A and B are shown apart, each in its own frame.
Chain A
Amino acid sequence: MENATSDLFFAGIDIGSTMSKAVIMDAEGVVRAYVVGPSGAEHRRRANKLMEDVLQKANLTLDDIAYIISTGYGRVNVPFADKQVTELTCHARGVASLFPDVRTAIDIGGQDAKVLKIRNGKLIDFLTNDKCAAGTGRFLEFAAETLGLDLNEMGHISLQTDMPVKINSPCTIFVQQEIISHLSEGTPLPDILAGVYIAITTRVVKLARQLKVDPPVVFTGGVAKNVGMVKAMETVLGMPVLVPQEPLITGALGAAILARDQAFQMVQKGEYVIHRDKKLGEAIIDYGGKNSR
């Protein structure tokens, strides 16, 4: 069987600590479909379901996919992947494909934060925080839980003020108490929320400054979807930040691009790339969890 590269498709799948993402790309490098869903406790089942969903969305089958790269915290749990690549590499690649001039990428995920120094599209240095929930999406979840608000809603409410309160606690566990005490003192909700965003951002920017923050700065990860966080990031950094249209999928996008590169190299060497001996497996059964789209 001949491989006409123009007919090939590639996939990147990113199993994060909180959210999982999958991207399918065609030979031209155009994203054909993507899906995002919670990772849940069973990564393997989630990976299978996610792949099934993204294939369906792209109107393709697994046999159409020439090469699959998995990435993220749960990348080992993607049985049908051809290769695993670290999230830092994938992430840098994904961000640079969207913003070729990027020099600093800040990614805040559900349970970690990363700062990447990128030059000419290449990752040259990075720092991560996965030791402390402050400075990650978890901090926001705690705040939202305390206030009984939706994360999205929280962002919009925070924009109503220019007077954020000072949140003293860098610790996620204690921030609840602090929010409650501000509420009991009658501090307006927007001021509290804006203060929460400044607190988490300050924590991440402290990490970023260790690498020196050079513009342009791209802000990604689930937390970058929050308008309050973007404003806080710009305030604390003192410079504008760029946010991709879909800030969650940059890792999966980078993985798909790397999958495409890899497949093209193989084709050049005269190797077959479509040799799907891997199946999505019986774990595709949906146990009634939430729909991933």
Chain B
Amino acid sequence: MSGYFLGIDIGSVGSKAVIIDDHRIVASVVVPSGTNYATTAANLKADILKRAGLQTGDIRASAVTGTGGRNVGIEGYHGVIICDARGVNITFPTAKTIIDIGGQGSQIITINEAGQVIDFNASEICATGSARLLQLVARILQVSMDDIGPLSLKAAKPSSFSTSCSVFLETEVITRISQGDKPADILAGIHWSIAEKISAISRGVTLKEDIVIIGGGALDMGLVKSIEEKLGMEALVPDNPRIIAALGAAAIARQ
């Protein structure tokens, strides 16, 4: 099938749209999900068509995924796990393991060469296993989300935390600040806490290389490094790790 294909991913925090043709990504958009997912989906679709310079009629097929992707007025819902698997497979054909760090939790998926899901494990909704903890800590430290990764790489002595709960971590971060810990060390310590949580989710799943990290959390190179250290494996990160599920949805629509 040739032409243009649309994939939309309505996540808990961010919503993404991707348009592909037969070979490549034509356009992609990321917006906040807001509270009315149907409106978000409609706006997202209008927005990406405009960016791609296309009309609704140019889209041969579309698919939707994500926590909020059901009942948003777009046909063809597919689960996030399947879309992650497909999106990663077409980005990195050698990938065997996917770590998706989203806004409300994480999931670990293992796939074969064809991009089919072999196994997966998802965390329950938990801020520590998600990018949300980074937002909370960034706010306390008054560091922008984009600066977290580079800053954390300058850590000399990562802070250690006694809890794995984001609620209690917030309090502990403030204690560490008062004890004179540097922001870089605190961030590196928080990265380690998230990496431990993700490692706990991966228990029972056989991790094989190549490992690909996607989702909002993958934008943070400090977190990526901590996960690599924790797992003892190197990881690949796509240029735009947030749009992978939407890309997968578009690829499924193309089939």
Hey, which bits of chain A sit against chain B, CB under 8 A? 111, 130-133, 138, 142, 168-174, 181, 184
Question: Do residues A184 and B35 form an inter-chain contact, with CB atoms below 8 A?
Answer: yes
Q: Which residue of B lies closest to A142 (CB)?
A: B167
A226 CB → nearest B CB, Å:
19
Cα–Cα, bound, A290→B180 (Å): 29
Q: Given that A173-B136, A174-B104, A181-B35 are contacting pairs, would A131 and B125 also be in contact in the complex, using a CB cutoff of 8 Å? A: no
| B108 interface residue (CB < 8 Å to A) | no
Q: Which of B35, B163, B165, B168: most chain A CB closer than 10 A?
A: B165
Residues of chain B with a CB closer than 8 A to A130's CB: 163
Question: Do residues A133 and B35 form an inter-chain contact, with CB atoms below 8 A?
Answer: no
Could you give, for residues 204-232 of chain B, a 1 whenever the CB lies within 8 Å of some chain A CB and a 0 otherwise?
A: 00000000000000000000000000000
| B166 interface residue (CB < 8 Å to A) | yes
A selection of 11 A-B contacts at a CB cut-off of 8 Å is: A111-B168, A133-B166, A133-B167, A142-B167, A169-B125, A170-B125, A171-B125, A173-B133, A173-B136, A174-B104, A174-B125
* Beyond A130-B163, A131-B165, 9 additional pairs, beta carbon < 8 A: A132-B165, A133-B166, A133-B168, A172-B166, A173-B167, A174-B125, A174-B127, A181-B35, A184-B35
Residues of chain B with a CB closer than 8 A to A170's CB: 124-126
User: A171: which of B35, B127, B163 is its contact (CB, 8 Å)?
Assistant: B127
A181 CB → nearest B CB, Å:
6
User: B125: which of A133, A138, A168, A184 is its contact (CB, 8 Å)?
Assistant: A168
List of 8 A-B pairs having minimum Cβ-Cβ separation, nearest first = A133-B167, A173-B127, A132-B165, A172-B167, A169-B125, A171-B126, A171-B125, A133-B165
Question: Do residues B132 and A174 form an inter-chain contact, with CB atoms below 8 A?
Answer: yes
| B160 interface residue (CB < 8 Å to A) | no
Residues of chain A with a CB closer than 8 A to B164's CB: 131-132
Cα–Cα, bound, A172→B165 (Å): 9
Cα–Cα, bound, A173→B132 (Å): 9
Could you give, for residues 46-61 of chain B, a 1 whenever the CB lies within 8 Å of some chain A CB and a 0 otherwise?
A: 0000000000000000
B214 CB → nearest A CB, Å:
21
Cα–Cα, bound, A169→B163 (Å): 20
**A interface SS class:** loop
Could you give, for residues 118-132 of chain B, a 1 whenever the CB lies within 8 Å of some chain A CB and a 0 otherwise?
A: 000000111100001
Cα–Cα, bound, A174→B167 (Å): 10
Cα–Cα, bound, A170→B167 (Å): 12
Could you give, for residues 173-214 of chain B, a 1 whenever the CB lies within 8 Å of some chain A CB and a 0 otherwise?
A: 000000000000000000000000000000000000000000
Q: Which residue of B lies closest to A132 (CB)?
A: B165
Residues of chain B with a CB closer than 8 A to A132's CB: 126, 164-165
Residues of chain A with a CB closer than 8 A to B132's CB: 173-174
Residues of chain A with a CB closer than 8 A to B136's CB: 173
Residues of chain A with a CB closer than 8 A to B127's CB: 171-174
Residues of chain B with a CB closer than 8 A to A131's CB: 163-165
CB proximity to A under 8 Å, residues B41-91: none
Cα–Cα, bound, A133→B124 (Å): 14
Residues of chain A with a CB closer than 8 A to B165's CB: 131-133, 172
Cα–Cα, bound, A172→B166 (Å): 9
Q: Which of B124, B125, B166: most chain A CB closer than 10 A?
A: B125
A17 CB → nearest B CB, Å:
10
Q: Which residue of A lies closest to B13 (CB)?
A: A177
Cα–Cα, bound, A130→B133 (Å): 18
Residues of chain B with a CB closer than 8 A to A169's CB: 104, 125
Residues of chain B with a CB closer than 8 A to A181's CB: 35
Residues of chain B with a CB closer than 8 A to A138's CB: 167-168
Cα–Cα, bound, A126→B82 (Å): 41
Residues of chain A with a CB closer than 8 A to B163's CB: 130-131
Question: Do residues B35 and A173 form an inter-chain contact, with CB atoms below 8 A?
Answer: no
Residues of chain A with a CB closer than 8 A to B125's CB: 168-171, 174
B81 CB → nearest A CB, Å:
18
B150 CB → nearest A CB, Å:
25
Cα–Cα, bound, A184→B39 (Å): 15
Cα–Cα, bound, A53→B166 (Å): 35
Q: Which residue of A lies closest to B167 (CB)?
A: A133
Cα–Cα, bound, A173→B124 (Å): 13
B216 CB → nearest A CB, Å:
15
Q: Which residue of B lies closest to A173 (CB)?
A: B127
Cα–Cα, bound, A132→B125 (Å): 12
Q: Which of B35, B163, B167, B168: most chain A CB closer than 10 A?
A: B167
Cα–Cα, bound, A181→B168 (Å): 24
A184 CB → nearest B CB, Å:
6
Cα–Cα, bound, A244→B112 (Å): 58
